[in-house]
Amino acid sequence: MSSFLSSLKEVFNFETNQVPSLILTIVLAFLVGLFVYLIYRLTFSGVIYSKTFNMSLVMLTMITSMVILFMSNNLKLSLGMVGALSIVRFRTAIKDPIDTVFMFWAIGEGIALGAGFILAAIIGAVMIGIFMLVLASSKKKASLPYLLILHYEERAAKQIKSMVAQIPYARVKSKTVQREGIELAVELRVKSSETGFVDKFLRVDGVYDATLIAHQGDMIS
């Protein structure tokens, strides 16, 4: 009983003495996590933007900083948290590798803030954010990968082949021949402002439809 009371007293002493530090750490973690949130939003280049995932980066920074703060001030609590966290299994699939990088960035910022390296966490966040913005801006200026899906009749095959050959960096990925017609999938790289050529395929006699889809994969030159 005495050991339980002493442990309880130790916990209350921690809360009493470290409340300002805890509040400051969580507030700073929120601000740094919000910075990570903005960088992810500005540099996102995927097809479907997930605001829920982006908000989880802010929460991940705050929770990690709080856990590290507790672990650094209480040895018994740190051992218990290590054992508890080892039981947790995360099953969420990460489709884009850059999302994993942002999660690791949020966790790293939380660890730095929770351990008391506030200046290092802020400087690191600013520098990484600047580098991400530079890389994202250079990527937006460059041409992007797309998939062009065409459905047409056999009589239009010769003209379609000639038009595809005029598209820069175009490569035929698949060709399906059916009784109803032909389906052609072409991988190409153009700028977002240069997608008007898709309308020209509809002017060809025998073409049913032409679809241009943003492609997440990297093309091999």
Kindly report the number of other CB atoms within 10 A of residue 113's CB atom: 30
Q: Which amino acid is at 93?
A: A
Please, what CATH class does the domain formed by 144-214 belong to?
Answer: alpha beta
- pLDDT band for 219, please (50, 70, 90 cuts): very low
Q: Can you say whether the dihedral through the CA atoms of 203, 208, 214, 219 is positive or negative? A: negative
Strand ranges (E), the chain: 144-152, 171-177, 182-190, 207-214
In percent, the amount of the chain with pLDDT more than 70 equals: 72
Question: Is the predicted pLDDT of residue 205 greater than 80, yes or no?
Answer: yes
Where do the domains of the chain lie?
2-141, 144-214
- pLDDT band for 61, please (50, 70, 90 cuts): very high
- Distance (Å) of CA 163 to CA 31, 118, 160, 186, 203: 52, 58, 5, 12, 12
Say whether pTM exceeds 0.85. no
- pLDDT (tens digit, 9 = 90+) per residue, 66-84? 888 877 766 555 555 555 5
